[in-house]
Amino acid sequence: MLDADFFRRWMMATAASVDREAERLTALDSPIGDADHGSNLQRGFAAVRAALEKEAPGTPGAVLVLAGRQLISKVGGAAGPLYGTLLRRTGKALGDAAEVSEEQLAEALRAGVSGVMTLGGAVPGDKTMVDALVPAVDALGDGFAAARAAAEEGAVATTPLLARKGRASYLGERSIGHQDPGATSSALLIAALVEAAAA
């Protein structure tokens, strides 16, 4: 079973990974965006880290709702509200249980991803974070490592796609040939599950 501390470790591992990869995320956002994805997420997850150090919520759901709220309030740009919605929706779907199973997490994340798709209007193949998140959720039944591999593959597979949502879509055909920054950061978020489980 996964307790509040597991979810805290997941968010902390994501924050650390975003710190390590911020330059790469911003570099990916340079040819098909406005070169701020790494700094946007770094600011957001620094706020998540600070909030979790201060408050220490007692349930998995409360950890994710608090993290999501930080991202929504601290990150301008598309990714803040989208990631904020992902975590808040997932957290709400977990309810107030003290511990949840991997199956419950998979189901809750599915609700979270569906919240992202409703808010942003993107479907798989539109070259967004959805292209990493949907395969990750589909693979979660086979374990965190399988979800990590699926998210990474999904992110890499955005390269040949034409962007249909977000800033990159303004470029039309010129968006082809670049990996989507948001799909790349979503793969980091999912990879952090493996780290949280290993700790």
Contacting positions for ligand ADP (CB under 6 A): 29, 33-34, 36-37, 40, 77-79, 82, 116, 120-122, 128-130, 165-167, 180-183
Q: Which stretch binds Mg ion (CB under 5 A): 25-33, 80-88, 113-121, 139-147?
A: 25-33
Q: Which of residues 100-119 bind Mg ion (CB under 5 A)?
A: none
Can you point out the beta strands (E) in the chain? 2-3, 99-100
36 or 107, CB closer to ligand ADP? 36
Are 188 and 21 in contact by the 8 Å Cβ rule? The answer is yes
Taking residue 199's Cβ as centre, other Cβ atoms within 10 Å add up to 11
Q: How far apart are CA 158 and CA 186, in angstroms?
A: 12
Smallest gap from Cβ 114 to ligand ADP, in A, equals 12
The residue among 107, 56, 116 whose CA lies nearest residue 84 is 116
Residue 33 is a binding residue for Mg ion (CB under 5 A): yes
Smallest gap from Cβ 41 to Mg ion, in A, equals 10
Smallest gap from Cβ 122 to ligand ADP, in A, equals 4
Q: How far apart are CA 184 and CA 153, in angstroms?
A: 10
